Amino acid sequence: MSEPTATATRAAPPKPAGKKYLGLTRNQAIGVGAVFVAALAYILWRRHEAAKTATTASTTTSTSTSTASELAALEDALEQLQAQGYGGTAGGSGAVGTVGTTASTGTGTATSGSTGTQPSAPSTVTGAPATSGGGTPITVTPVNLHTTQVSATSVGVAWVAPTIPAGQGPLTGYGCEVYTADGQSEGPSWTVPKTQLYANAGGLKSKTTYHLNVWCLPAKTGGPHASVSFTTK
């Protein structure tokens, strides 16, 4: 009887070692490369941000310098205008500001207030109007005298400055006075500046007819005047 033949078991061949890159395996080399790329990108980003910040700071400084220069130039121009007579509140050679009621006499534009509107409350200045003042009495009267508001106890009127004839004046203001329909004075007369082309009278009686007279100053007593009639509410 023959003996069984022994089958030899063949061992598996050894697995070849992975390829090395500078002493590193492929996976290790990929990891190192990724870290290097990330570090390089971070460095470039920081440089970009630093450059952008420097540019912004430079622009801000340049803008501030330019603004300061412009403000200085504007201030110099304003001082020159004021030195030439501009920038007053009334009269002068071209007053600067919000023009209210405009006078037609004198040089430049005279203003009667910052808004050119009638005050809501009566604002009379008591005292007899001047009949002299170093000038020649004026014979012309204010133009287009009319009421602007009438209540139970007050009235507002406005007018246009007349052209003063040669040899008269200069205009120093306007005289105002209120009379009842039967000719009785309703209080003392008052004056307003020449740059003010309106007047208000208060303390009146309701449902009463009045006349308000306005004349140019200087004027002779009893001289010509403009008059407007109204009835309080």
Token digits of residue 154: 């007050």
Give the whole-number percent of the chain exceeding pLDDT 70: 55
Stretch 210-228: mean pLDDT: 91
Distance CA 120, CA 163 (A): 29
The amino acid at residue 137 is P
pLDDT of residue 8: 52
Q: How far apart are CA 95 and CA 119, in angstroms?
A: 22
| 133-162: average pLDDT | 92
Residues 6+ apart with CB under 8 A from 53: none
Q: What value does the mean pLDDT of the chain take?
A: 72
For the record, the structure tokens of 61 come out as 């400084």
Highest mean pLDDT among 34-48, 112-126, 154-168: 154-168
Taken in order of first residue, the domains within the chain and their CATH numbers are 143-231 (2.60.40.10)
For residue 171, how far is the Cα from the chain centroid?
32
Q: Mean pLDDT lowest for which of 122-131, 151-160, 166-175?
A: 122-131
64: enclosing H helix or E strand: helix 26-83
End-to-end CA gap in the chain: 155
Please say if the pLDDT value at position 86 is more than 60: no
